[in-house]
Amino acid sequence: MKKEYEITQSKDLGTAEYEISATIAADTLNKYRERAIKTLGENVEVPGFRKGHVPADMLLGHLGEERVMDKASTLALTELYPEIIKELNIDAIGSPKIEVKKLAKDNPMEFVATTAIMPEIKLPDYKKIAKKVFEKKEEVAVTDKEVEETLTHIRRQRAQIESYEKQKSEGAEKPEIPEIDDKNLPELTDEFVQTLGDFKTVADFEKKVRENILEEKKLKEIERKRIETVEQIIKESDIILPQIMIDQEIHRIEHQVEAEVAQTGTKMEDYLKNIGKTIEELRKEWAPEAEKRAKLQLILNEIANKEGIETDKEEIQREVAHIKEHYPDADEENVRIYVETTKRNELVFKSFENTDK
């Protein structure tokens, strides 16, 4: 059986990164090209044909050869790159940076992949650090002022909702959420709190509010101690961090910022003008945070391995299915990686809290 790919060169770059040059055989690439046409064509509508049943030659006219070949290369790399990594016995982590050198129909595909490899990680005594942080008992209490402020906020929200509903009932085309004068808030009565849940009296409701505030403050205190713990572990760890991992984290931060800017109805280029910075300047500013994030994930993975911390496979599958139900177009493997990473990280954090037990 003819091999589908050929590794032409592989070398350790010496910075916890590995570079691989390889080619994918022309006939193999053509098979992925046929799959690409079929996959892309599923959503193409052509008069006289049912969606998904448009002839391949007609689809090409709509899609264009370049788009088809780009999709073919993606499909090929998704399936064959893991095999290349396995053949080279490389302990690769994260997503590779891939540069396609040659891509054309009926020709071999040539590419160069740079991947991060698991660096040597020298951890401090993380159990000692966690114990020192979590054994400090901070008193968590709720003040009457905090309860009163929460109750006022609830009354204010009710007044805003009532005003909004009144505008709608009076035929307002665009009802608005108004600013409310706290002097005119609805009175907190037994009847009021009974509309908020299973409460009989104001006293019942105030008790529940106090309990909720206390629970929230306890969770915030745990989160503060978690952050203090990992900050110290990162500070005392020795890691040669692959630059590609930092770049990937910068890329994630950039996407996050773009999404947040888009939610305000602003274009990214306008946002950059408003703050008087270029995207390159922002990337430099994000670099320290990106490095910290990358180090943290490597450290949490290493601790999970050392402590034999594993996730519940059935729980992971349920969570993946739940996410796919709400986001059917999401890549299932990426969703699984995200869920597993999140769940495993949480188990590591919980282990920090139990070092003194």
Task: Residue 108: give its domain's CATH number.
Answer: 3.30.70.1050
Strand ordering across the sheet containing 5-12: 5-12, 17-24, 109-117, 92-102
Within-domain flag for 174:
no
The C-alpha atoms of residue 247 and residue 235 are separated, in whole angstroms, by: 21
Nearest residue to 160 (alpha-carbon basis) of 135, 186, 138: 186
pTM across the whole model: 0.75
* pLDDT score for 240: 86
Angle among Cα 199, 200, 202 to the nearest 5 degrees reads: 85
The C-alpha atoms of residue 180 and residue 152 are separated, in whole angstroms, by: 11
**How many domains does the chain divide into?**
1
Within-domain flag for 150:
no
Within-domain flag for 228:
no
Q: pLDDT band for 72, please (50, 70, 90 cuts).
A: very high
The pLDDT > 90 percentage for the chain reads 70
Within-domain flag for 312:
no
Within-domain flag for 335:
no
With contact defined as beta carbons under 8 Å apart, do 206 and 151 qualify?
yes
The C-alpha atoms of residue 201 and residue 189 are separated, in whole angstroms, by: 8
The C-alpha atoms of residue 4 and residue 25 are separated, in whole angstroms, by: 5
pLDDT digits (tens, 9 = 90+) for 156-180: 999 999 999 999 988 888 888 888 8
Within-domain flag for 141:
no
pLDDT digits (tens, 9 = 90+) for 74-124: 999 999 999 999 999 998 988 899 999 999 999 999 999 999 998 889 999
* pLDDT score for 18: 93
Q: Which domain holds residue 83?
A: 5-118
Within-domain flag for 169:
no
SS3 308: coil
Task: Retrieve residue 321's tokens.
Answer: 């299915």
Within-domain flag for 185:
no
Longest dimension (CA), the chain: 83
Lowest mean pLDDT among 16-20, 39-43, 152-156: 39-43
